[in-house]
């Protein structure tokens, strides 16, 4: 039974194999037969395209053309990829610089920095003949082509061949704009390829009028001017909307090569080029010969630029750096910056520095000085970075490279008072002290035994702050200096208490401002507000003014009383101002390389540094001599014609309000006293200052005469 079943299974398996073999044979036959029929049909179809004879030669040539075209397209695509990358971010080239117009606290222009640029004028507001002059000269088919003008390129090629020189360019306005917005000025084949593709991209994304507006705003026209609006103000002293035909023709001629055709470089060449532009306008059909005759006979005249030597250049350089930090990342490049700068105080500071150096600089072998003046909120009112900006643009007022000497001691005493263990009346030993092998000595090499902190500070005794630093630790002293306004780092050495640290005049004034303000931090501020050319507020310092207390009122009071005593009975007596509560501290470094006086009143904080750029020793110059003299000269002038405010923590009644006025009887602006009470000595001092005030009146009148018509939101700071 089992055998029968096995035999049955074998028969079934054999039958299945026979069936599969039969199916495989028949399927293979059918497949190859179908393949043969398909090939036959393919041959029948291809026979239709069989070309012979002359027609075959034509087809072969056409085939090669298409092949090379495909290869060229792939090559162009590979070259265009970098151009596509340029537009990936959707952002234009960042300007190499920004354009800033700086105003003083009263709204008068005091100078400019960066490029000159103005994109506030709409295309519809530009003179029609300026647009036509530009199109006639740069791109007559601008409204007809798609970014690349092949007809214009061919015409330029023919003209250049005939002249055997490059007399005409083939780049369209769109191509020129592509270079300005996305590319560098290098002359390479790859850049031209990028330029072509970018031109197509610009045409696809902007209207013709938008492209023309961008071109007028971004084109470079020489002397740091970008755009026709800025250039019109610079070259002709007028709004671009007021340009004459002759002036518009001169502008249109400058697009090609401003370095050659700018009127301040070569007026004859500029006028000759403008005459060519007028001819182009006639040839293009925009004007008739009769309409341009007057412009030919009366060519444009550029204005002579005012001498900018009187600009507060050291202050402007610093304010420029601060402004760039604020606007960094914005799309606009042109701004109007309102500062806290006071031209009157600036001239007082400059005159005090220069006159003192002239009178006594040779005697003390000192050649340089710097000064910074702020109000009690840290707003910088004046800055003198050196004697002559024309000879040296190095700003000594903001560079943290000099040691303050004893002017650093207020930080030592302030931290001692914060411990609660000391007051100005506390006593301490003035006797030899050593830290390791370092044994500092007093200025006169003598010691007074037991002294009060008030007496030690007033006489600038060196051993006392060293002893205090051993009690409080040196790191808290460094922290105090940084807390009050010293921004740069310095090593914490055993001589730190005597001012062996690199600081700037600006930071020292800011730090002393904390004492003057009653304990509040007064960071130095150059800028009160920034607007773009449309008047939109970009930055307003009022939004960021948060008063931070860094000293207790008690510590600030102690320090002010001690610094007041310095100018009354100590090393800073030359800085005392009659009728004005002032306080401060002298500073002199070893070997007499640096001399300082930093101090304040209830109105202003000011710091003076004197020394030599090459670090040569002076002739025993101390902070209590020339620096204190400069400081006193300035403060005397600065407090005329203002309300003298009391000084925090100091019991002193300021002098009465003194007003200076110009009278019809005295055109030289001799100052007369209006105050009900005036001491004879003060009256004599005012008369001595009449020349200075006369100078300031002339300065104000000049500023008013030169003031540009700039709309600035808001009133006096």
Give the residue numbers annotated as catalytic, written as ranges. Answer: 138, 406
Instruction: Compute the distance between CA of residue 516 and CA of residue 550 in angstroms, rounded to an integer.
Output: 12
SS3 107: coil
SS3 417: helix
Cβ atoms of 666 and 593 closer than 8 Å: no
Helix boundaries (H) for 48-127: 54-88
Which of 508, 520, 502, 267 is CA-nearest to residue 377?
Answer: 520
Query: Which tokens is 703 given?
Result: 């500023």
Cβ atoms of 585 and 597 closer than 8 Å: yes
Instruction: Compute the distance between CA of residue 601 and CA of residue 560 in angstroms, rounded to an integer.
Output: 10
Which of 354, 349, 335 is CA-nearest to residue 113?
Answer: 335
Instruction: Compute the distance between CA of residue 397 and CA of residue 607 in angstroms, rounded to an integer.
Output: 9
Give the long-range contacts of residues 112-116, CB within 8 A, separation 24 or more: 113/316, 113/317, 113/319, 113/320, 113/323, 114/224, 114/320, 114/324, 115/224, 115/225, 115/226, 115/333, 116/223, 116/224, 116/225, 116/226, 116/230, 116/231, 116/233, 116/234
Instruction: Compute the distance between CA of residue 672 and CA of residue 61 in angstroms, rounded to an integer.
Output: 101
Instruction: Compute the distance between CA of residue 648 and CA of residue 549 in angstroms, rounded to an integer.
Output: 15
Cβ atoms of 373 and 380 closer than 8 Å: yes
DSSP H or E run through 208 = helix 208-218
Cα–Cα distances in angstroms (integers) from residue 651 to residues 58, 263, 581, 647, in the given order: 109, 63, 9, 8
């Amino acid at each position: 039974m089992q055998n029968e079943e096995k035999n049955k299974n074998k028969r079934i398996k054999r039958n299945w194999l026979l069936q599969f073999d039969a199916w495989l044979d028949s399927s293979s036959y059918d497949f190859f037969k179908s393949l043969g029929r398909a090939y036959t049909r393919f041959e029948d179809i291809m026979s239709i395209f069989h070309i012979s004879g002359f027609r075959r030669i034509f087809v072969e040539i056409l085939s090669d053309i298409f092949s090379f075209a495909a290869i060229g397209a792939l090559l162009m695509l590979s070259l265009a990829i970098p151009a596509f990358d340029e537009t990936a971010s959707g952002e234009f080239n960042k300007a190499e610089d920004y354009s800033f117009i700086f105003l003083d606290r009263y709204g008068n222009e005091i100078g400019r920095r960066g490029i000159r640029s103005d994109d506030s004028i709409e295309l519809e507001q530009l003179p029609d003949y300026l647009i036509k002059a530009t199109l006639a000269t740069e791109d007559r088919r601008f409204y007809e082509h798609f970014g690349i003008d092949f007809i214009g390129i061919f015409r330029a090629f023919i003209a250049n061949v005939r002249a055997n020189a490059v007399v005409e360019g083939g780049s369209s306005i769109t191509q020129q704009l592509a270079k300005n917005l996305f590319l560098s000025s290098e002359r390479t084949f790859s850049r031209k390829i990028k330029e072509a593709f970018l031109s197509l991209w610009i045409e696809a994304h902007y209207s013709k009028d938008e492209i023309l507006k961008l071109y007028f705003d971004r084109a470079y026209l020489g002397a740091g001017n970008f755009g026709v609006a800025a250039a019109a103000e610079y070259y002709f002293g007028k709004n671009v909307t007021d340009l004459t035909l002759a002036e518009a023709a001169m502008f249109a001629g400058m697009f090609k090569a401003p370095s050659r055709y700018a009127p301040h470089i070569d007026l004859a060449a500029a006028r000759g080029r403008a005459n060519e532009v007028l001819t182009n306008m006639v040839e293009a059909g925009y004007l008739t010969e009769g309409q341009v005759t007057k412009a030919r006979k009366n060519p444009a005249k550029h204005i002579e630029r005012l001498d900018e030597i009187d600009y507060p250049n050291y202050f402007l350089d610093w304010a420029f750096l601060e402004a760039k930090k604020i606007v960094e990342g914005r799309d606009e490049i042109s701004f109007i910056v309102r500062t806290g700068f006071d031209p009157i105080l600036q001239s007082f500071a400059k005159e005090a520095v220069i006159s003192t150096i002239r009178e006594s600089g040779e005697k003390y072998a000192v050649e340089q000085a710097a000064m910074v003046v702020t109000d009690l909120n840290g707003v910088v009112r004046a800055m003198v970075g050196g004697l002559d900006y024309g000879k040296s643009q190095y700003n000594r007022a903001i560079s943290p490279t000099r040691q303050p000497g004893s002017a650093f001691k207020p930080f030592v005493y302030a931290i001692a008072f914060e411990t609660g263990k000391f007051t100005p009346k506390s006593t301490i030993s003035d006797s030899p002290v050593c830290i390791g092998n370092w044994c500092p000595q007093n200025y006169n090499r003598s010691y007074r035994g037991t002294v009060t902190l008030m007496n030690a500070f007033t006489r600038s005794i060196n051993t006392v702050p060293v002893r205090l630093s051993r009690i409080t630790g040196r790191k808290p002293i460094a922290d105090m200096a940084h807390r009050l306004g010293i921004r740069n780092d310095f090593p914490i050495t055993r001589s730190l208490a005597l001012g062996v640290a690199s600081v700037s005049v600006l930071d020292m004034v800011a730090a002393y401002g904390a004492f003057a303000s009653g304990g509040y931090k007064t960071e130095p501020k150059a800028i009160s507000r920034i607007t773009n050319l449309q008047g939109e507020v970009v930055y307003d310092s009022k939004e960021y003014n948060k008063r931070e207390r860094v000293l207790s009122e008690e510590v600030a009071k102690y320090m002010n009383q001690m610094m007041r005593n310095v100018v009354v009975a100590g090393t800073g007596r030359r800085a005392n101002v009659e009728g004005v509560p002032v306080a401060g501290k002298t500073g002199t470094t070893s070997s007499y390389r640096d001399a300082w006086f930093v101090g304040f009143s209830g109105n202003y904080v000011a710091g003076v540094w004197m020394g030599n750029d090459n670090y040569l020793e002076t002739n025993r110059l101390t902070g209590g001599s020339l620096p204190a003299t400069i400081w006193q000269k300035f403060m005397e002038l600065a407090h005329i014609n203002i309300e003298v405010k009391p000084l925090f923590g100091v019991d002193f009644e300021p002098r009465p309000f003194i007003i200076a006025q110009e009278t019809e009887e005295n055109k030289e602006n001799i100052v007369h006293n209006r105050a009900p009470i005036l001491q004879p000595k003060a009256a004599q001092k005012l008369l001595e200052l009449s020349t200075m005030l006369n100078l300031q009146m002339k300065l104000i009148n000049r500023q008013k005469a030169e003031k540009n018509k700039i709309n600035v939101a808001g009133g006096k700071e």
